[in-house]
């Protein structure tokens, strides 16, 4: 059949993953700025400002790693974040779907979600400690809340923005509500859910350190708190840098998942 | 009445009224139309004359305020895979490949995997997308997307096809190719088609009959028979007869007199209020 010649060549290979020269310059600049930043830090610490120098911080890191403290603290903080985050998103996704799908659920739940969203999670800590004591529970609870609130909003928005035409297309192909939900609404809102999860993970991570400052026996936040009491600046720096790096790694991991799951999106 | 002569589609005095504040707005003000089996009817008219409203009612995606729509004598109640619908915005599921899109309805209907594959394969080939069977919609041009949507509708083996400005978003060249392609497909797999467009040329080229609609209230202005045989060719498109036909339709669309019982009443009222 001599229908219109396909304007796209039939390479069904993934998106153009060719090395873009502009992208390469970006990479180089990223590395340059890293060295520049450390250089400026080093220079500043050499001028006599009360800052530990990079070698001092490195030494502190090696020492903390060697006696196992650093790994213990990382494990403790990560466990809290991941537990709170997992619980938060596990609840947020169904709640967000129900809010987006049923008008009555939105009417009942949205005011509460919006209200709690305006309270910084840290402001909940005193209440959580009074109600739950100073064990793991209040810390995980606060992280859970932070992750839940940011994820529920975007899941809900994802469901609301699903294109009516796609739903109609499914209906005329014979799909009933259950199928439409599972086969259209869920995939169509996946990009939104993943954005919500990334924001949720970010706020969970931000909250954990603060939660550990209050009452803990281990964890990166606790370590920094201790270091503050004994005036160990290098240890505080190690804590900050490790928190930053772990946060970045987790974010990148989710970004990767997002790319895998939502590669079907048309990018304008 | 003999069942063989019963019309495929019967639209019987349908109105669709929207309440706009205190006003009543007649999106459709009593439309009646019948389509015979395997007829190809195009509906053309200015935007806002109720073309989509009429089609959505037939599709079961919308309900009339009064009147009835019947397909094969059965009252239309909700959507059904019996009535294939093709939307202007393609409405492909962007996370599914061409093949999976075409199989969507079959899967919903629990058609066995083997038969599903076979039918998908057949209709993907029919629309010339075999090479792209495993591509995602984002890899396809507008024309290819719409061909995929056509294959998806055909795969359900519908008895009628409802198309709402399916080529409206395509450039003029692709549009002409798609028209030829659609007719080619339709001649292989005859169905009763209602095809909505706002393009006079397209309306005339495709149809057995062209229904011209007018707005305020939405109504049928004129029905023009197209006495050209199928297959339609480029020569026909450039012929004298076709030009006359196009003129006739053009006049009906662009020089609409506000003539209808209902509008007559309305305009008469307004006039008497003014004076
Ligand atoms: N939900 C609605 N509420 C109010 N008016 C509507 C609604 N849907 C459609 N209309 C009106 O009905 C008329 C017919 O619409 P439509 O069938 O989409 O026209 P067409 O497809 O011919 O352009 C338009 O004037 C439109 O504004
Ligand atoms: Mg329309």
What pLDDT shows up at residue A1?
Answer: 44
**Which chain A positions have a beta carbon within 8 Å of B91's beta carbon?**
163, 165-166, 168-169
Contact A184 B93 (CB under 8 A): yes
What pLDDT shows up at residue A92?
Answer: 92
What pLDDT shows up at residue A268?
Answer: 63
Q: Which numbered ligand comes closest to the C-alpha of B65?
A: 1
Tell me the C-alpha distance between A148 and A234, whole Å: 34
Q: Specify the long-range contacts of residues B237-245, CB closer than 8 Å, at least 24 apart.
A: B237/B201, B237/B205, B242/B204, B242/B205, B245/B204
Ligand 1 atom with minimal separation from the B56 CA? 17
- Which of B81, B88, B91 to probe by mutation at the A interface, max A CB count within 10 Å? B91
Question: What mean pLDDT do residues B88-104 have?
Answer: 96
In this prediction the ipTM stands at: 0.87
* Centroid of chain to Cα B84: 10
Q: What would be the CATH architecture of the domain defined by B2-77+188-274? A: 3-Layer(aba) Sandwich (3.40)
**Residues whose CB is less than 8 angstroms from the CB of residue B31 and which lie 6 or more positions away in sequence, other chains included:** B11, B13, B14, B15, B50, B54, B67, B218, B219, B220
DSSP conformation class of A1: -
Tell me the C-alpha distance between B182 and B249, whole Å: 21
What pLDDT shows up at residue B213?
Answer: 96
Domain boundaries, chain B: 2-77+188-274
Name the phi and psi angles at A255, rounded to 5.
Answer: -60, -40
DSSP string, chain B: --GGGS-SEEEEEEEEEEEETTEEEEEEEEEEEEE-TT-EEEEE--TTSSHHHHHHHHHTSS--SEEEEEETTEEP-S--TTEEEE-TT----TTS-HHHHHHHHHHHTT--HHHHHHHHHHHHHHTT-GGGTTS-GGGS-HHHHHHHHHHHHHHT--SEEEEESTTTTS-HHHHHHHHHHHHHHHHHS--EEEEEES-HHHHHHH-SEEEEEETTTTEEEEEEE--PPSSP-HHHHTSHHHHHHHHHHHHHHHS----SHHHHHHHHHHHHHH-
pTM of the model: 0.81
What residue in B sits closest to A7 (Cα-Cα)? Answer: B141
DSSP string, A125-169: HHHHHHHHTTSHHHHHHHHHHHHHHHHHHHHHHHHHTS-HHHHHH
What pLDDT shows up at residue A207?
Answer: 86
Is B80 an interface residue toward A (CB < 8 Å)?
Answer: yes
Is A173 an interface residue toward B (CB < 8 Å)?
Answer: yes
Three-class SS state of A118: coil
Counting beta carbons within 10 angstroms of the beta carbon of residue B262, is it exposed (0 to 12), middle (13 to 18) or buried (19 or more)? middle
**pLDDT above 80 for B109:** yes
Q: Hey, whose CA ends up nearest to atom 10 of ligand 1?
A: B27
pLDDT in tens, B120-166: 999 999 999 999 999 999 999 999 999 999 999 999 999 999 999 99
Cβ neighbours around B242 below 10 Å, total: 18
Is the omega angle on the peptide bond into residue B226 within 30 degrees of 0, that is, cis? Answer: no
- The confidence band for B268, taking pLDDT boundaries of 50, 70 and 90, is very low
Q: Lowest-confidence range among A8-17, A224-233, B215-224, B247-256?
A: A8-17
What pLDDT shows up at residue A13?
Answer: 46
Rg (CA), chain B: 20
Token pair belonging to A37: 């930043």
* Pocket test residue of B17, B18, B220 for ligand 1, highest count of atoms within 8 A of CB: B18
Counting beta carbons within 10 angstroms of the beta carbon of residue A267, is it exposed (0 to 12), middle (13 to 18) or buried (19 or more)? exposed
Query: Mind listing the domains of chain A with CATH numbers?
Result: 51-261 (1.10.3720.10)
Separation in Å, CA of B104 to nearest CA in chain A: 8
What pLDDT shows up at residue B265?
Answer: 42
**pLDDT above 90 for B270:** no
Give me the tens of pLDDT residue by residue for chain A, a chain 268 residues long: 444 444 444 444 445 555 678 888 999 999 999 999 999 999 998 887 888 999 999 999 999 999 999 999 999 999 999 999 999 999 999 999 999 988 899 999 999 999 988 988 878 888 888 898 888 888 899 999 989 998 999 999 999 999 999 999 999 999 998 999 999 999 999 999 999 899 889 888 888 888 887 777 889 999 998 998 998 999 999 999 999 999 999 999 999 999 899 989 887 6
């Amino acid at each position: 059949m001599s229908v219109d010649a396909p304007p796209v060549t039939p390479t069904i290979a993934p998106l153009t993953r060719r090395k873009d020269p502009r992208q390469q310059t970006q990479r180089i600049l990223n590395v340059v700025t890293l060295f520049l930043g450390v250089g400026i830090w080093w220079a500043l610490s050499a001028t006599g400002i009360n800052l530990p120098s990079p070698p001092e911080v490195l030494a502190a890191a090696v020492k903390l790693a060697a006696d196992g403290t650093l790994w213990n603290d990382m494990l403790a903080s990560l466990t809290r974040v991941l537990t709170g985050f997992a619980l938060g998103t596990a609840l947020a996704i169904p709640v967000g779907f129900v809010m987006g799908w049923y008008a009555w659920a939105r009417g009942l739940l949205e005011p509460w979600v919006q209200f709690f969203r305006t309270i910084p999670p840290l402001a909940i800590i005193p209440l959580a400690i009074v109600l739950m004591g100073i064990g793991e529970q209040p810390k995980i609870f606060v992280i859970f809340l932070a992750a839940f609130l940011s994820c529920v909003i975007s899941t809900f928005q994802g469901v609301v923005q699903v294109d009516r035409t796609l739903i109609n297309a499914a209906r005329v192909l014979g799909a009933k509500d259950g199928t439409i939900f599972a086969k259209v609404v869920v995939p169509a809102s996946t990009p939104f859910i993943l954005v919500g999860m990334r924001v949720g993970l970010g706020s969970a991570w931000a909250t954990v350190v603060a939660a550990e400052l209050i009452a803990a026996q281990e964890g990166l936040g606790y370590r920094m708190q201790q270091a503050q009491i004994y005036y160990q600046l290098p240890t505080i720096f190690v804590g900050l840098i490790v928190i930053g790096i772990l946060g970045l790694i987790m974010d990148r991991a989710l970004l990767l998942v997002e790319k895998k799951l939502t590669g079907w999106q048309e990018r304008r | 009445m003999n069942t063989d002569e019963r019309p495929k589609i019967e639209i019987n005095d349908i109105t669709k009224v929207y309440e706009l504040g205190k006003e009543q707005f007649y999106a459709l003000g009593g439309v009646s139309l019948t389509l015979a089996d395997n007829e190809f009817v195009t509906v053309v008219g200015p935007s806002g004359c109720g073309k989509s409203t009429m089609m959505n009612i037939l599709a079961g995606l919308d309900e009339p305020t009064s009147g009835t729509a019947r397909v094969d004598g059965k009252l239309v109640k909700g959507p059904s895979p019996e009535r294939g619908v093709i939307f202007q915005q393609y409405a492909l599921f962007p996370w599914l490949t061409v093949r999976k899109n075409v199989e969507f309805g079959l899967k919903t209907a629990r058609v066995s995997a083997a038969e599903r594959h076979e039918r998908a394969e057949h209709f993907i080939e029919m629309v010339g997308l075999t090479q792209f069977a495993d591509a995602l919609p984002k890899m396809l041009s507008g024309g290819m997307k719409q061909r995929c949507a056509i294959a998806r509708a055909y795969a359900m083996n519908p008895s009628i096809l409802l198309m709402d400005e399916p080529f409206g978003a395509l450039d003029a060249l692709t549009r002409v190719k798609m028209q030829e392609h659609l007719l080619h497909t339709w001649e292989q797999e005859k169905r009763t088609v209602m095809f909505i467009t706002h393009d006079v040329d397209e309306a005339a080229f495709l149809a057995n009959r062209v229904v011209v609609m007018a707005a305020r209230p939405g109504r049928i202005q004129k029905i023009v028979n197209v006495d050209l045989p199928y297959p339609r060719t480029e020569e026909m498109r450039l012929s004298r007869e076709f030009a006359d036909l196009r003129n006739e339709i053009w006049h009906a669309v662009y020089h609409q007199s506000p003539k209808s019982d209902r509008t007559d009443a309305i305009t008469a009222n307004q006039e008497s209020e003014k004076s």
